[in-house]
Amino acid sequence: MRYRPGGKVRRRKRKMIRPLTRLDDPLWPTLVALYEASFDRDSREPLERLESEVEGSYRLPFQFLVDEQDGKLRGFARWCDLGYAAFLLHLATDPECRGEGIGATLVNAILAKSERMILEADDEDERLMRFYGRFGGRILTPTYTQLSLHEDTEPVPYALLGIGDFPDPQTTVESFYRDVWELPPDDPYVRKAVGGIL
């Protein structure tokens, strides 16, 4: 709290960007609810997968970065350091907090750890493309395909975006498919994505 002479006592809002690293974190249930409300099922992993990422038992080192104010979740980023770039898989903001720069704050926090970022995006979503364009985001390949995440869903066509300098986009795309999807360079999905490199 802060007292201003002649004024009212004001309570300072405590804001922080921090990693969420435990399933017993008080923000975890709210994060899961925001995740499920923000993304279609065909682009959401099962809850068990997310839990394994938080526990550190998944094969890739995914992390959850949260924007918290006074104990309330305002937004989160789900990302992974691939070594050659950060892979931003999900970014979501509480609808009540939209327009407050939370998404930009989370992206900048990740870019402070990695000078390059890769993400999947619907390149027909103009709002999304403008948002990532503010960070220098550009399409690496418009013919990227996110593989099916559930037995009863289909693969999803997206663009693969890059933020930062990617001097060899073909190697980047092939490495990304290898690391994230465990696909070799001669896989049809990889060849299709490489064939669309701009």
- The CA-to-CA distance between both ends of the chain, in Å, stands at 54
Say if residue 13's pLDDT is above 90: no
Tens digit of pLDDT for each residue in 158-184?
Answer: 999 999 999 999 999 999 999 999 999
Say if residue 146's pLDDT is above 80: yes
Q: What average pLDDT does the chain have?
A: 94
Residues 6 or more apart in contact with residue 73 via CB below 8 angstroms: 27, 30, 31, 34, 66, 67, 94
User: Residue 189: what pLDDT?
Assistant: 98
Say if residue 191's pLDDT is above 90: yes
Question: Could you tell me which of 147, 122, 142 has the C-alpha nearest to residue 42?
Answer: 147
Say if residue 8's pLDDT is above 70: no
Mean pLDDT of 31-42: 96
Tens digit of pLDDT for each residue in 58-112?
Answer: 999 999 999 999 999 999 999 999 999 999 999 999 999 999 999 999 999 999 9
pTM of the model as a whole: 0.90
User: Residue 15: what pLDDT?
Assistant: 81
Mean pLDDT of 30-52: 96
How many residues in total does the chain contain?
198
- Residue 20's φ and ψ, nearest 5 degrees, are -100, 115
User: Residue 2: what pLDDT?
Assistant: 54
Let me know if 162 is exposed, middle or buried by CB neighbors in 10 A (0-12, 13-18, 19+).
Answer: buried
Mean pLDDT of 25-35: 98
User: Residue 7: what pLDDT?
Assistant: 60
Query: Beta strands 156-163 and 117-121: pairing type?
Result: antiparallel
Question: Domain residues of the chain, as ranges?
Answer: 13-115, 116-198
Q: Where does 24-136 have alpha helices with state H?
A: 28-38, 47-55, 102-111, 126-133
Let me know if 8 is exposed, middle or buried by CB neighbors in 10 A (0-12, 13-18, 19+).
Answer: exposed
User: Residue 114: what pLDDT?
Assistant: 96
Say if residue 1's pLDDT is above 70: no
Q: Which CATH number fits domain 13-115: 3.40.718.10, 3.40.630.30, 3.60.70.12, 3.40.50.150?
A: 3.40.630.30
Say if residue 185's pLDDT is above 90: yes
Beta strands in the chain (DSSP E): 2-3, 9-10, 15-20, 62-69, 72-81, 86-93, 117-121, 138-146, 156-163
Say if residue 12's pLDDT is above 90: no
Structure tokens at 41: 């099922």
